[in-house]
Amino acid sequence: MSEPPPRGAERDIFRDTWVRYLGYANEVGEAFRSLVPAAVVWLSYGVSSSYVLADAIDKGKKAGDVRSPEAGRSTRVTVAVVDTFVWQALASVAIPGFTINRVCAASLYILGTATRWPLSIRKWTTTALGLLVIPVIIHPIDSIHWSPAHHCPLSHRSVDFLLDSSLRKLYPSVEKPSSS
C-alpha cells in the first residue's frame, strides 16, 4: 500500500485504506486458478477492474474540483482520469495478474514433472506459492503518491518509470497528475 498521506493531507480512500486491496483481487484469483472455476477468476478481475475505474473517476472528480482557470479544467480532468486508469490497470491488474498467472502455471508444471505428489497437493502448493508471491511483487510494481518532493529515482517504481517514459510525455503542459 502507498505511504500514509502527509499531515493535513486529505485521506485517499483508494490509496490509504483497505479499499486499496480490492485492486489486488485478481492476483488472489490467479493464485486460486487451479482450484476454482474460471468464472471465479474472472469475477476477481471484475473486482480489480471496478476498483481501477472507481479510482480513475475519483481522481477525475478531484482534478475537476481544483480552482484554476476554466480553460484547463477539462484537460486536467482528462489527464487525471487517463493517467490513473492506465497506471492502475497496469499496476493493479495487468502486470501482477500476469506475473501470478505465470508463477502458478510454472510451479504447477514443475511440480507435475519433478514430483509424484497427488494433483490436489500440487494444486494447493501452487496456490500457496501464488499467494506468497503477491507481497513480493507489489513493491516493485506499485508506487508511492507522486509529488514534487518525491520526484527522485528512489521513489519511482516500474509502472511510474514506464508511464514517465511514454504516456506522460504526451500530456499537455499541465501539473503532473497524482494518480500513482
pLDDT above 70 covers a percentage of the chain that reads 81
Torsion sign (Cα): 46, 24, 90, 83: positive
Q: Among residues 89, 107, 102, which one has the least CA distance to residue 162? A: 89
Residue 144 lies in a domain: yes
* Residue range 14-33: mean pLDDT, rounded: 92
Lowest mean pLDDT among 11-15, 60-64, 152-156, 157-161: 152-156
pLDDT higher for 64 or 126? Answer: 126
Q: Among residues 38, 84, 41, 36, which one has the least CA distance to residue 60? A: 84
pLDDT of 154 above 70: no
Q: Among residues 26, 29, 6, which one has the least CA distance to residue 16? A: 6
pLDDT of 33 above 90: yes
Residue 156 lies in a domain: yes
pLDDT tens profile 67-93:
776 667 788 888 999 999 999 999 889
pLDDT above 90 covers a percentage of the chain that reads 52
Residue 4 lies in a domain: no
Q: How confident is the model at residue 166 (pLDDT cuts 50, 70, 90)?
A: confident
Task: Supply 67's cell numbers.
Answer: 480552482
Q: How confident is the model at residue 123 (pLDDT cuts 50, 70, 90)?
A: very high
Residue 64 lies in a domain: yes
User: How high is the mean pLDDT of the chain?
Assistant: 83
Q: How many CB atoms lie within 10 A of CB 110?
A: 12
pLDDT of 113 above 50: yes
pLDDT at 148: 38
Q: Model pTM?
A: 0.79
User: What's 87's DSSP letter?
Assistant: H
Residue 112 lies in a domain: yes
Phi, psi dihedral angles at 131 (to 5 degrees): -65, -40
Residue 66 lies in a domain: yes
Residue 63 lies in a domain: yes
- The DSSP line for 92-154 is IIIHHHHHHHHHHHHHHHHHHHH----HHHHHHHHHHHHHHHHHHHHHHH--PPP-GGG-SGG
Residue 175 lies in a domain: no
* Residue range 157-178: mean pLDDT, rounded: 76
Which residue range is the domain that position 131 belongs to?
18-170
pLDDT at 129: 97
Q: 144 Cβ partners below 8 Å, 6+ apart?
A: 2, 3, 150, 155, 157, 180
Q: How many structural domains compose the chain?
A: 1
